[in-house]
Structure 1
Amino acid sequence: MISEGLIVWNRRIDLLHYAEHKLEKYVAEGKITKQQRKKLKKIISKMWIDIWKFHPDNNPLLEEAFELNFG
């Protein structure tokens, strides 16, 4: 059985993936500029790093790999 903390964490991950998808869609449609995209992408990247602190298992090796990829 999956713990409730893991379910909530996975939901947050899904929302960040959705935010990245919408950001790229808005850039492609010309609704936001590339400069705005850069600023928003930096915010989303910080959110990826911040959300890792709330992972129920908090595996140090996974955390290091995560920060190397998104930090």
Structure 2
Amino acid sequence: MPKLTNNQLAFLLARITLGINFFLHGFVRIPKLEAFASGLTQGFEVTMLPLALVKMIAYAIPFIEVI
């Protein structure tokens, strides 16, 4: 294994930290998927976005974060 420079090591640590963060956010939201989707949909009710699109994306976000 090649020796990593300080910059490469810092970048690797940041990527691992962000990856774990995304994974845990998605993992925690999956059991409460309905509540998360309805809360997100309510937050976007006053915008121009179609609610069907918002709801579809709200159901996909936790799974995307886990992946």
> Could you say which TM-score interval applies, normalised by the shorter chain?
0.3 to 0.5
TM-score by length of 1: 0.43
Question: Which structure has the higher relative contact order (CA within 8 Å, separation 6+)?
Answer: 2
TM-score by length of 2: 0.45
Over alpha carbons, which structure has the higher Rg?
2
